[in-house]
DNA sequence: CGGTACGCCTGAAGGC
DNA sequence: TGCCTTCAGGCGTACC
């Protein structure tokens, strides 16, 4: 469930605690959750943290010596910043725990928990390895332009909904924001992706950027699993126009929203505002 | 190419 | 109260 706005919210919550600090201890209790090398050193034990970046739904923690740890939260992944006190109990399903010291030593540990384990951690030896790891991803959805959509989708007969979920087209869109963006752009989710008009690609690119920006402003959407690093919930769910609102009335025209399965995902749309297939 | 199905995995929610 | 079923879904993979 964490999509781009949720992952960006995590990134922003993590940054002040990590950047400029040093990882004094890094441990995994579940080595199979960590790809390539699950040793403390690969998990940045002893490293100074230079930055925390994001592409689409993935996070990267960059050490000043060039090593990188990439996090993908899958659907139930949470990154929690907790006080380092002994008496604060680790949550269940805490797969990786980083203890932070150094200049940013405000006594925290960073915990990655992921009950469903659809996510994962990749330990990478340098920036080039991160580039290869991220090579299959399209440009970040926050900067999505009409040109990108036009080029990636021209000739495609798959539904626009299915193509928006493909991280190779544009990175960061999941089921929630695909539906929200299509509603904003007034495009039916079943429209063949390559058959949109120029104005529609422009509208869709704009809708993607605006809905993601609005969601980030609200701290993302909390349905069940997602929380901010401090444990608080995101506030964008109340602003959803379609996702989770099947049968309720369209905020634009008042007609009941309809739902169906498209690209193996529950999809909600307004058959009035989003026209015909 | 694209649609479809499945497996991975747990917990919340609803039905009885 | 408690058990059972269903659903949620990112992503890889197999298959038609």
Active site residue A57: yes
Any residues with CB less than 8 A from the CB of A165 and at least 6 apart, and which? A173, A174, A175, A178, A263, A265
Give the model's pLDDT for residue A228: 81
A161 CA vs C15 C1’ separation (Å):
23
Q: What is the pLDDT of residue A124?
A: 96
- What is the band of A216 on the pLDDT scale with cuts at 50, 70, 90? very high
Q: Collapsing DSSP states into helix, strand and coil, what is residue A192?
A: strand
Q: Report pLDDT for A196.
A: 95
Cα A147 to chain centroid, rounded:
23
Which of these is catalytic: A11, A54, A57, A191?
Answer: A57
Give catalytic status of residue A2 as yes or no: yes
**Predicted local confidence at residue A160, as pLDDT:** 95
Measured to protein CB atoms, the chain C nucleotides within 7 Å are 7-12
Domain chopping of chain A, boundaries: 4-134, 141-269
Give the model's pLDDT for residue A11: 95
Which CATH class, in words, describes the domain spanning A4-134? Answer: alpha beta
Protein fold of A141-269: Helicase, Ruva Protein; domain 3 (1.10.8)
Confidence of residue A256 (pLDDT cuts 50, 70, 90): very high
Is it the case that residue A106 has pLDDT exceeding 70?
no
- The yes-or-no verdict on residue A102 having pLDDT over 60 is no
Phi, psi of A63 (to 5 degrees): -85, 155
Average predicted confidence (pLDDT) for chain A: 91
Q: How does pLDDT run across A257-270, given as a tens digit for each residue?
A: 999 999 989 999 99
- Give the pLDDT confidence of A142-156 residue by residue, as tens digits: 999 999 999 999 999
Q: What is the pLDDT of residue A168?
A: 94
Predicted confidence at residue A227, as pLDDT, reads: 79
- pLDDT attached to residue A236: 87
DSSP bridge pairs for A51: A62
CA nearest neighbour of A74 among A93, A88, A90, A61: A93
pLDDT digits (tens, 9 = 90+) for A42-56: 999 999 999 999 999
Q: Is residue A130 within 8 Å of residue A84, measured between CB atoms?
A: no
List of A residues 18-77 with CB within 7 A of strand C? 57-58, 72, 74-76
Confidence of residue A238 (pLDDT cuts 50, 70, 90): confident
pLDDT tens by residue, A84-100: 877 788 899 999 999 99
Q: How far is the CA of A166 from the C1' of B13 (A)?
A: 30
Q: How far, in Å, CA of A181 to CA of A203, rounded? A: 9
Residue A3 is among the residues annotated as catalytic for this protein = yes
pLDDT at position A251 is 94
- Residue A274's pLDDT band (cuts 50, 70, 90): very high
Residue A107 pLDDT: 76
Residue A98's pLDDT is what?
95
Q: Which of A158, A211, A182 is nearest to A271 (CA)?
A: A182
Task: Please tell me the distance from the alpha carbon of residue A185 to that of residue A202, in angstroms, as a whole number.
Answer: 9
């Amino acid at each position: 469930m964490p999509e781009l706005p949720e992952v960006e919210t995590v990134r922003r919550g993590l940054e002040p605690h990590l950047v400029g600090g040093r990882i004094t201890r890094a441990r995994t209790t579940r080595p199979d959750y960590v790809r390539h090398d699950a040793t403390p050193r690969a998990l940045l034990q002893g490293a100074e943290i230079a930055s925390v970046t994001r592409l689409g739904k993935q996070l990267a923690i960059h050490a000043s010596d060039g090593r990188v740890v990439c996090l993908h939260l899958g659907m139930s992944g949470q990154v929690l910043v907790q006080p380092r006190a002994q008496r604060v109990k680790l949550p269940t399903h805490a797969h990786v725990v980083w203890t932070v010291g150094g200049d940013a030593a405000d006594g925290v540990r960073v915990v990655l928990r992921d009950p469903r384990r659809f996510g994962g951690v990749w330990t990478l030896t340098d920036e080039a390895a991160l580039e290869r790891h991220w090579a299959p991803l399209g440009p970040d959805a926050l900067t999505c332009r009409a040109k990108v959509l036009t080029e990636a989708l021209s000739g495609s007969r798959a539904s626009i909904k299915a193509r928006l979920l493909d991280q190779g087209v544009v990175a960061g869109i999941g089921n929630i924001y695909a539906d929200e963006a299509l509603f904003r752009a007034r495009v039916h989710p079943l429209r063949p992706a390559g058959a949109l008009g120029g104005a529609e690609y422009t509208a869709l690119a704009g809708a993607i950027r605006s809905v993601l920006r609005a969601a980030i402003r609200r701290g993302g959407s909390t349905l069940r699993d997602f929380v901010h690093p401090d444990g608080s919930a995101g506030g964008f769910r109340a602003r959803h126009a379609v996702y989770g609102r099947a049968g309720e009335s369209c905020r634009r025209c008042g007609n009941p929203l309809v739902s169906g399965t498209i690209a193996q995902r529950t999809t909600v749309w307004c058959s009035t505002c989003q026209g015909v297939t």
